Amino acid sequence: MSCLQRMLLALGMACAVPSLMFAGQSRTAAVAGGTRTATRIASAPASTTGSSELTGVWRSAPDETPLSSEFDESVWGKNAVAIRTVQMMVKPTGDATLTVNRKVVDGKRRTVPGSASIEQVQMVIGPVLKSTDVRRDLTVATKQAERRYPDDPGSTWPLDGLKVGVSTFNDDPGTVEIRLDTPEGRGSFWEKLRRATNQKLSTTH
């Protein structure tokens, strides 16, 4: 196996995140192939019902996964960590942008070149789809989704078939739950986001 092949394989494994039973997915994330321009997936009319209360910026805490297998250490070195952060910006109309940043840092917390990726989803959050005493699942229509690699600005891939779920909690209005299912089935995850104190969008990864 060439050095490049080992790097790509390790990157797919490092960017994986735990999938819960609802997703039924594995823990590896592969680099998606396809054309270099994002394509339309679905559309739906905007609605403020169930989404107006979400207006603003929401962020997750960094999710860190140690890369400690023998193979990981052969590629990234000892004490490397895969990091994922999630941010969602919601407009009063229900139009929203979800951004997922992934990267690998080495033992000195330096970002490994070529390991960073950004998944961005344009979507519309609509009325409540179903609810219980403790949570409400909202209608979500994905309009456009893509994955890009900052170290290679020309590498942008459409994520046809990506699905996003958004839920709120009656007893905790400052928290939303995001569920993301990737089209390749790997790298799917769920994450809780908190309303950001600083409402400026973060541009770091």
Q: How many CA atoms lie within 13 A of 35 on its CB side?
A: 6
pTM for this structure?
Answer: 0.74
Kindly report the average pLDDT of the chain as a whole number.
80
Cα 61 from Cα 85, distance rounded (Å) = 7
Task: Calculate the alpha carbon distances from 14 to 28, 87, 160, 189 in Å.
Answer: 7, 20, 22, 14
Residue 82: pLDDT above 80? yes
In tens, the pLDDT along 11-22 reads 555 554 333 333
Task: Calculate the alpha carbon distances from 100 to 15, 70, 78, 130, 165 in Å.
Answer: 11, 27, 25, 26, 14
Is residue 81 assigned to a domain? yes
**What is the residue range of 87's domain?**
3-195
Is residue 203 assigned to a domain? no
Write down the H helix ranges in 49-188.
70-76
Cα 97 from Cα 6, distance rounded (Å) = 33
In tens, the pLDDT along 91-134 reads 999 999 999 999 999 999 999 999 999 999 999 999 999 999 99
Number of domains in the chain: 1
